[in-house]
Amino acid sequence: MVEVTRRRAIEDVASELFRAHGYAATSVRDIARALDIQGPSLYAHVTSKEDVLRAIVDRAATRFEQAADAALATARAGHSAALDPAAALAALVRAHVRVITDDVGTAGVFVHEWRALTGERRAGILERRDAYEARFRDLVTDGIATGDFELTDPAVAAKAILGMLNALSTWYSPDGRLPAGRIADHLADLVLRMLQGGSR
């Protein structure tokens, strides 16, 4: 239990440093200093700086995936007919926003620093990101097919939506003018207006 707690403390501190200074500009010594331990002692808990980044990115990816699955399951609940693409996409947007605003540090590292991963670690997270993006792309495709959305390129639309949502990790503040829930509502509304040609 102590090991798990120490490992989580390392990841949390590293997340803050990676977000503030970037992965490349943060050293193992910086992480150890922030934890008030000796650099060599850090290696008793982690194998490398990239190992820490992988853990942070994996944790964030899992949160996004679980939130998306729960949002889509809720959107499907009680519907014997086909899923409403607009309602499902709005739920997906809100879920994505909630993950970012619940832990901006970890989400920010996931959004901006995952490319520092190498080899199989990078390939694995890229595969998960593509699968996650496909949830958005498929709903846009479905919405076009049902006439809920204007004709557009679903892949471009999905990337545009996620780009807008992920930008939250650079400007959201818990002390800001609007609470996270209201921001999620505004962004869901903007996404639907974009796809429906402003007819809402």
Residue 8 pLDDT: 85
The answer on pLDDT for 1 being more than 50 is no
pTM of the model: 0.90
Asked if the structure places residue 33 within a domain, the reply is no
In a domain, 137, yes or no: yes
Indicate whether 160 belongs to any domain. Answer: yes
Whichever domain contains 165, its CATH number is: 1.10.357.10
Neighbours of 36 (CB within 10 A): 6
Range of the domain at 181: 49-195
pLDDT in tens, 152-166: 999 999 999 999 999
- DSSP class of 197: T
Give me the DSSP letters along 2-38.
Answer: HHHHHHHHHHHHHHHHHHHH-STT--HHHHHHHHTS-
- Residue 198 has a pLDDT of 57
pLDDT at residue number 46: 82
Nearest CA among 50, 9, 8, 7 for reference residue 28: 50
Does the pLDDT of residue 199 top 70, yes or no?
Answer: no
Please tell me the total count of domains within the chain: 1
What's the mean pLDDT in 166-187?
Answer: 94
**Confidence label for 177 from pLDDT (cuts 50, 70 and 90):** very high
One-letter identity of residue 130: D
Residue 6, pLDDT above cutoff 90 = no
Give the pLDDT band of residue 80 (cuts 50, 70, 90). low
pLDDT of residue 39: 65
